[in-house]
């Protein structure tokens, strides 16, 4: 290879970083599948717990397998007093994502495992603990009493219960399951890639999961659905959509929740979330937001198509509106993304550890060479 043609893709765009059996993103057809099962089927028919099993073991469980899986998982459905104390001592207004990153690492001091041990059970433990860690810190932050988890409830039901102190209606539990399923896995996004890179030096599970959380906290990764909600509320009325979008396009402002490096068509997750929102939005605010966002989509896509650009809604476009319609505080949107995505991280940790090689790419050196060291007094 000659030095003139060194191939270098910023952000590793287009570069293959791993082989994987976990997830296929079809950016042209607009489909996403986990271990061969389309997200359309999974989000329609499966529970969160079934899909977590699928991601960890590569197959859907039968009734017996699921029962055993739930018994194992629920062993980890308990608040760890030392982590709870740590959450209480975090500085006031510590962002929930920082609290989560810190809590995972602290949890690692209580139970953990490396690739040499039975790490799948530990991954299940971290998946099960995530909603507990998020809910307990949220209640502490709001100066409310922490709710003890309920082993009778489903994964989603228990989280919603631990947030509000009230057992959620079945319909909310189901919609929350669907939102989680759609966010569980998406190939080598930045946080999952982080999980694989960190896992590749073989630290214990807690170090990996904590690190991936830091990546998800970045606004280029998590957080866009919160911005969509703000944007929709700023637009405020269906009449204001065209003017607002024209202004934004003129100022070259990026529209939150639109466009994706992989999808060249509408993100299948956006399609599913939009449908759910249409079925679920009953209060006036949610109905209004739905109408504004659909109008925004229609008008923005038309304007982009005129310019020859294919930019469509991504997963973040309808998810924040839907989450808020079941009463979720926007500060929890990214932590909820983590509650879902931890299953994807776990699947990739498993795959990485089954055939590991440490990530150690090269940098193309473009700096100076052979500089002479001069003592500080002569500089």
Positions marked catalytic: 260, 316
What residues contact 188, with CB distance under 8 A and at least 6 apart? Answer: 17, 18, 20, 196
Rg (CA), the chain: 22
**Least Å distance between CB 378 and its own copies?**
9
Please report, as residue ranges, which positions from 242 to 301 form the binding site for its own copies (by CB under 8 A). Answer: 261-262
Measured from the CB atom, is 99 or 296 closer to its own copies? 99
Interface with its own copies (CB under 8 A), residue total 109
d(CA 100, CA 341): 13
Measured from the CB atom, is 162 or 349 closer to its own copies? 349
Measured from the CB atom, is 250 or 363 closer to its own copies? 363
Q: How far are the Cα atoms of 73, 186, 264 from residue 313, in angstroms, in the given order?
A: 35, 16, 10
Please report, as residue ranges, which positions from 108 to 147 form the binding site for its own copies (by CB under 8 A). Answer: 108-110, 112
Which two structure tokens, joined as six digits, stand for 182?
């759609």
Question: Under the criterion CB under 8 A, does residue 7 sit at the interface with its own copies?
Answer: yes
H/E element, 296: helix 284-306
Task: With contacts defined by CB under 8 A, name the span among 82-90, 147-155, 157-165, 319-327 that binds its own copies.
Answer: 82-90
**Least Å distance between CB 94 and its own copies?**
3
Measured from the CB atom, is 17 or 285 closer to its own copies? 17
Please report, as residue ranges, which positions from 162 to 201 form the binding site for its own copies (by CB under 8 A). Answer: 187-191, 193-194, 197-201
**Least Å distance between CB 149 and its own copies?**
20
Kindly write out the interface string for residues 349-368 of this chain, putting x where it contacts its own copies by CB under 8 A and - elsewhere. ------x-xxxxxxxxxxxx
Please report, as residue ranges, which positions from 27 to 66 form the binding site for its own copies (by CB under 8 A). Answer: 33, 35-38, 41-42, 45-46, 50, 60-63, 66
β-strands 31-34, 37-38 pairing: antiparallel
Measured from the CB atom, is 129 or 213 closer to its own copies? 213
d(CA 13, CA 20): 17
Question: Under the criterion CB under 8 A, does residue 225 sit at the interface with its own copies?
Answer: no
- Other C-beta atoms closer than 10 Å to the C-beta of 171 total 11
Q: How far are the Cα atoms of 95, 216, 342 from residue 20, in angstroms, in the given order?
A: 33, 21, 17
Question: Under the criterion CB under 8 A, does residue 234 sit at the interface with its own copies?
Answer: no
Residue the block writes with tokens 């795959």 = 351
d(CA 51, CA 65): 13
């Amino acid at each position: 290879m000659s030095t003139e043609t060194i191939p270098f893709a910023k952000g590793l765009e287009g570069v293959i970083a791993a082989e994987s059996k976990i997830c296929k993103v079809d950016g042209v057809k607009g489909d996403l599948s986990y271990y061969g099962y389309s997200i359309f089927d999974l989000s329609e028919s499966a529970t969160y717990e079934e899909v977590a099993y699928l991601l960890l073991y590569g197959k859907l469980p039968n009734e017996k397998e699921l029962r055993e899986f739930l018994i194992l998982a629920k062993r980890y459905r308990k608040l760890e007093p030392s982590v709870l104390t740590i959450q209480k001592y975090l500085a006031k207004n510590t962002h929930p994502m920082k609290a989560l990153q810190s809590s995972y690492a602290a949890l690692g001091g209580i139970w953990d495992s490396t690739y040499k041990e039975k790490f799948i059970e530990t991954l299940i433990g971290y998946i099960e603990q995530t909603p507990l860690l998020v809910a307990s810190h949220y209640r502490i932050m709001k100066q409310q009493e922490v709710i003890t988890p309920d082993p009778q409830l489903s994964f989603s039901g228990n989280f919603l219960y631990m947030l509000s102190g009230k057992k959620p209606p079945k319909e909310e539990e189901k919609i929350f399951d669907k939102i989680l399923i759609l966010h569980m896995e998406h190939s080598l996004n930045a946080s999952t890639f982080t999980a694989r890179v960190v896992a590749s030096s073989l630290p214990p599970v807690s170090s990996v999961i904590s690190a991936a959380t830091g990546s998800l906290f970045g606004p280029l990764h998590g957080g866009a659905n919160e911005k969509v909600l703000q944007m929709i509320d700023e637009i405020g009325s269906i009449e204001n959509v065209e003017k607002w979008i024209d202004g934004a396009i003129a100022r070259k402002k990026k529209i939150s929740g639109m466009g994706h490096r992989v999808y060249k068509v509408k993100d299948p997750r956006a399609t599913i979330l939009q449908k759910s929102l249409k079925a679920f939005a009953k209060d006036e605010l949610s109905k209004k937001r739905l109408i504004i966002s659909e109008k925004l989509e229609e008008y923005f896509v038309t304007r982009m198509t005129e310019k020859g650009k294919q930019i469509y809604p991504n997963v973040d476009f309808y998810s924040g509106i839907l989450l808020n319609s079941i009463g979720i505080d926007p500060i929890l949107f990214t932590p909820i993304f983590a509650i879902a995505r931890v299953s994807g991280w776990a699947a990739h940790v498993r795959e990485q550890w089954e055939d590991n090689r440490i990530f150690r790419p090269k940098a193309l050196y473009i700096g100076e060479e052979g500089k002479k060291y001069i003592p500080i007094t002569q500089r």
